[in-house]
Amino acid sequence: MTTLVKYQSQLVAKPYFIAAIGLFIGQILFGLIMGLQYVWGDFLFPEIPFNVARMVHTNLLIVWLLFGFMGAAYYMVPEEAERELHSPKLAIALFWIFLVAGALTVLGYLLVPYARLAEITGNDLLPTMGREFLEQPTITKIGIVIVALGFLYNICLTILGGRKTVVNIILMTGLIGLAVMFLFSFYNPENLVLDKFFWWWVVHLWVEGVWELILAAIMAYVLIKTTGIDREVIDKWLYIIVAAALITGILGTGHHYYYIGTPEYWQPIGGIFSAMEPIPFFMMTLFAFNMVNKRRRDHPNKATVLWAMGTGVLAFLGAGVWGFMHTLAPVNYYTHGSQITAAHGHMAFYGAYVMIVLTIISYAMPIMRGREANSNKAQVVEMWSFWLMSVSMVFITLFLTGAGILQVWLQRMGEGQNFMVVQDQLSIFYWLRTISGTVFMLGLIVYVISFFIKGEEKAAT
């Protein structure tokens, strides 16, 4: 098969991207199951209880984003470093290890009760399971560490042995940070407060810390390629964006330390710094729009540019604006652990991380398949999927926000009403959310179809 990649080893990214999309479909399927369970309480009960569906939904999200990040790194790093990947064979071996380990873990979730899974995987020896997003059996966590180490070894040797661009350096620090912070998932003390405190070192310092470095590096790379803007300009933006992300995001961790038994000085510290967390996302939006407006070439891949600009906008809205809404301690006192959190989580993950992975896939896949861009027809279908998924995600977020506001009002104000009594009164919002989720799934199907549309191919320039 012909390909237009500059370095043959970039092609190892392809299976990573395909696996990412496959797991994405699974993630949305379980999202729809949960959406239905919210309105139809005994749907699939007791075969797939809500906690199992949620675990599959969130774990598949994390795993497919990691596949996307790894694919992005394997694609970008050789080209930036101007040399072949240190070991393409290792990259392919790690791909299969990660995919099989991930599949076995999900099957474990679905086929045996969780307590039994904990028992047969030896959770008693080193208990790390049963904490939100870190539900994987300890043995899977060890597997993740091994895959991450092999991946970092491969990527770092390639970067250090070649041209050291700012994109590569930022990407590398982000990926090292990702691996290092994950090690805290092995720390699970008997004291719940300590457990929660360091649990956030994985969860917050990933998504509001080092993952933002990976996001910014991918964004910068795609903008260099599609706009032809001088690297010097892009590099300055990139440094300033990641500086803003870490300066606000590290102490911003404090916005999780308001009401879990931690000292109360975290309320002003977490509030002030997390209130500034929208800044790097706003800069990212400005960055994308500015670079596209000042572009020196018209790249034939219009879909990629659309994904990149969409990332800027929806990451700012979802992570920035929806995060800011409930980040100050006096507001969070009422909204903490309500549907408001769910609303923010959905748009933030979609706008920032789902969309950046789809951006790099949109850019790299056609090149790996032998053309600079897909046919106009295929791009139109891809852009339809962009709008279907993005607009339905905006509606999911709005309906969950509506549910959240009403929930806070009914349950948390004054004497308040009982949790389940309130849930019944929110069902209209949950129905609308599930309908929006169905449209999202349609958008995802359209997205997959776009890969199979041939049409006239653009000549390489």
Partner 1 sequence: MSEKFTKGMARNIYFGGSVFFILVFLALTFDTVERLPERDHRENITESVALGKKVWEDNNCIGCHTLMGEGAYFAPELGNVYDRFGKSKEAIKAFIKSRPVNGIPGRRSMPQFNLSEEELEAIADFLKWTSEIDDANWPPNIQG
Angstrom distance (rounded) from CA 273 to CA 204: 13
Indicate the residue among 36 and 356 with the shorter CB distance to partner 1.
36
Indicate the residue among 196 and 369 with the shorter CB distance to partner 1.
196
Question: In the complex, what is the shortest distance from the CB of residue 50 to partner 1, in angstroms, rounded to a whole number?
Answer: 5
- Is the sign of the CA dihedral 231, 206, 72, 161 positive or negative? positive
Angstrom distance (rounded) from CA 330 to CA 406: 18
Indicate the residue among 160 and 243 with the shorter CB distance to partner 1.
243
Indicate the residue among 248 and 301 with the shorter CB distance to partner 1.
248
Indicate the residue among 259 and 395 with the shorter CB distance to partner 1.
259
Question: In the complex, what is the shortest distance from the CB of residue 459 to partner 1, in angstroms, rounded to a whole number?
Answer: 35
Question: Which residue type, as a one-letter code, is found at position 167?
Answer: V
Q: By the 8 A CB rule, do 126 and 186 touch?
A: yes
Question: In the complex, what is the shortest distance from the CB of residue 445 to partner 1, in angstroms, rounded to a whole number?
Answer: 27
Dihedral angle at the C-alpha atoms of 241, 247, 250, 253, nearest 10 degrees? Answer: -90
Copy the structure tokens of residue 287: 């960055």
Indicate the residue among 26 and 49 with the shorter CB distance to partner 1.
49
Tokens 């407060």, residue located: 193
Question: In the complex, what is the shortest distance from the CB of residue 186 to partner 1, in angstroms, rounded to a whole number?
Answer: 14
Number of H helices, E strands in the chain: 19, 0
Question: In the complex, what is the shortest distance from the CB of residue 159 to partner 1, in angstroms, rounded to a whole number?
Answer: 16
Angstrom distance (rounded) from CA 68 to CA 354: 9
Provide CB contacts within 8 A for 167, sequence distance 6+: 76, 80, 217, 220, 221, 224, 235, 238
Question: In the complex, what is the shortest distance from the CB of residue 21 to partner 1, in angstroms, rounded to a whole number?
Answer: 26
Copy the structure tokens of residue 7: 């370095």
